[in-house]
Structures are given as C-alpha cells and as structure tokens.
Amino acid sequence: MLGQAALIFLLLVVAGGTRFGPPVAPAAPARASSLEYVEALGDLHRRARARRLAAEALAGSLRRRLAGSLGRRPGEGAARLAARVARHLRVKEGQVRLGLRPGPKAVESDDGLVAYARGVHALERRLRRTSGAAAPRRS
C-alpha cells in the first residue's frame, strides 16, 4: 500500500512538472570562429611539418573546383583536365599542371608552400572570373 502511494506521488510530480529548484539555463557551447579553426589547423600542420599534406589538400580542392566548374568527363586524367582548363582560362598548361600536382618546391619550405597556395588561389580567382561565379561552391 505504501509502495502504491509512493508510485502515485511520483507520477503526480512527473506529470505536474514540479521543479525542485529554480530552472538552470544550459551552458552555451563555446563557439570558435572559422578563422581560429584554420589557424589551429595550420599550426598543427606547421608543427608536424606536414607541408605535403597541406599541398595535397590544396591540389584536391582545386581539382574538384575545376572539374565541377568545367564538367567532369569520365576517365579524364590530370593531364587532359590541365589541357582543357588551360584552354578555358587562357593560361599556360604548365601552370595548371603545377596547381593540380604540387611539385617538390611546394613542400621543401614554408615559403614554397605559400607560393604554391598563391598559385592555386590565382587559378581559382581566374576560374571565378571566367565562369561568372561569385563564390566557389563547396563539395
């Protein structure tokens, strides 16, 4: 009988939404800006001396944007894509090939990686201007 009374009381408390104290607001999650994320990731790459990984990430991003903007063709290799992009952007094919595949100079030093990133950025900027896109699409 006492168990039944306790159960009924518990059901009434739960159903009634009775609080046993003032409501506590949930803690706001710490939100880092995207710039902080990029700085932290860059710092990790620098400490790990992972220049090749950073260069390959840039090359992969460029490859996806170029193929997405110009249309993918089945079985198209990097050389054919570079030739097609060079004609479309009116740049030297060697410049596009360097952007699609980072060379040894891009991973030798931080300065080489920065120079490679600037070259990739120049190609992406030119692509945006020729295709009339306001901003690059994310894949």
Report pLDDT digits (tens) over 46-102. Answer: 888 888 988 998 898 888 888 888 877 766 787 888 888 888 888 998 888 888 888
Contact of 65 with 124, CB cutoff 8 Å: yes
Percent of the chain with pLDDT strictly greater than 90: 11
Q: What angle is formed at CA 55 by the lines to CA 36 and CA 124, rounded to 5 degrees?
A: 80
The pTM score is 0.64
Cα distances (angstroms) measured from residue 68 to each of 20, 116, 122: 58, 21, 17
